[in-house]
Amino acid sequence: MQALAIKSALISVYHKNNLDKVVSYLHQQKVTIYSTGGTQQFIEQMGVPVTPVEQLTDYPAIFGGRVKTLHPKIFGGILFRREVANDIQEAEQYQIPAIDLVIVDLYPFEQTVASGASEQEIIEKIDIGGVSLIRAAAKNFKHVGIVASPDHYQLLVEMLEAGNGTLSLDQRRTLATYAFDTTSHYDTAIFHYFNNLTNASQTYKQSIQQFQTLRYGENPHQQGVFYGQLAEMFEQLNGKELSYNNLVDVEAAVALAEEFESPACAIIKHTNACGAALGSDAKQAYLRALEADPVSAFGGVIALNRTVEQDLAEELDKLFFEVLIAPSFSPEALSLLTQKKNRILLRQLQPIPGNWQSKTILNGVLKQDKDLAKETADLLKPVTRLTPSPEEVEALLFAAIVCKHTKSNTIVLAKDNQLLASGVGQTSRVDALKQAIAKARHFGFALEGAVMASDAFFPFPDCVEIAHQAGIQAVIQPGGSIKDQASIDFCDQHQMKMVFTGIRHFKH
């Protein structure tokens, strides 16, 4: 039972790429081949003998091909246990031939959904017979080999060649594992299609087959893997392999840069913006972003929402950075920036997809909507006697966006669509503000006329008091504290302006 000699095979596939190699090998080994429909025609055109399934079952394909292989002579040949006397007797009694190898793939359900096809077209791509055959063969792996994807055709041939036409028990168990991976992924895709329409189930179910092994995880002693198709998001134009930390910072940088319609630059270090600015063009946006903290920018991740031209590339080339992301690069810019072989350059192909996010926690998973809320001028609620000028409103909205993308507790100081400094990840909002003020002054920014954004409300007036002493003129915050009036009163007494958004932006 350890080594299974392949004497018969059922082949019924939708995708026929590279199938000829498998069929040719099986023919050389004098394997009896059963097949259906288009696969049967494909094999016949190769000049290889093939037995139609209808000849075995004595029953035609019916209902437009919906029922072809769902028959006891097929499933019996796959499922009967070769070591059980009663199974052997029944197989002989009902003239059920043993099927040693099943090669079946599935209708392209996911691709059909992605194409925008009609519901009827999508429903017809829900495979019934294929899934049943795969599960049956995988269940009976002790006696049957199963290949459920064209990705494993070459592997099958290599296994058979190495075993002189046989498959070992370990090989069959491995193939069964791949097979159940295929069917579970397929069923998950179907579930998501229906649940997206009905929202009937709150079950957490994900299946991502594509993966990329990383050099390591967050630290060298941790293993790391990225699950997904990164090539759909970015084209890597230069540099070493992206690391776990690179990917985390890339998302943070892109998510911030995507918020702006004007030319924008975000410089990220450990998921927080150490620089962010708008400009008349990408070069000005970068130079203004860099001013906020040129020290932290060293080794950072930079995202732009405009093409990198040669003049900008010349400025970027002066800084050591890990990753640069942009929608495109001019040939001259690319020629300059690729001179350093480890510098990672990514051309962004699409915005970050999806409207929800999840993470493992304790013995489960947390899932939530992404924070896609965005403050706009018409939604701001002035709460002080003085109201911000149009220029101040613009600065406040810019600061609020940066604040939304910064770890809590956070305070962001900005002016003229430029991040001056931020206090990030502090246990106290007062500490976050003090950190931001100290940092802004360290890099030579005058805070007179600057604005302040907070990710959550002020429980006490201490933050607006400190901000006033630093020269800050306008404040944007969610509001909602039972002591909001204390902060409002202080602003009114000191000619400051404050607006409420009603939107909290905690980020952990």
Look up 139 and say whether it is catalytic: yes
Q: How many CB atoms lie within 10 A of CB 243?
A: 19
The closest alpha carbon to 7, from 100, 96, 140, belongs to: 100
Question: Residues 7, 139, 185, 340: which is the catalytic one?
Answer: 139
Phi, psi of 464 (to 5 degrees): -70, -30
Token pair in block for residue 94? 């009902």
Spatial separation of the C-alpha atoms in residues 279 and 300, rounded to whole Å: 20
Q: What is the DSSP string of 50-97?
A: -EEHHHHHT---BTTTTBSS-SHHHHHHHH--TT-HHHHHHHHHTT--
Contact 113, 122 (CB under 8 A): yes
- Location of structure tokens 């070992």: 168
Catalytic residue check, 270:
yes
Exactly one of 15, 16, 185, 270 is catalytic; name it. 270
* Three-class secondary structure of residue 421 per DSSP: strand
DSSP helix/strand/coil, 30: coil
> Could you tell me which residues come within 8 angstroms of residue 66 by beta carbon, excluding any fewer than 6 positions away?
128
Task: Please give the sequence-ordered ranges of beta strands (E in DSSP) within 446-491, or none if there are none.
Answer: 451-454, 474-477
Give the three-class secondary structure for 25: helix
Do residues 471 and 413 touch, judged by C-beta distance below 8 A? no
Indicate which residues carry an active-site annotation. 139, 270
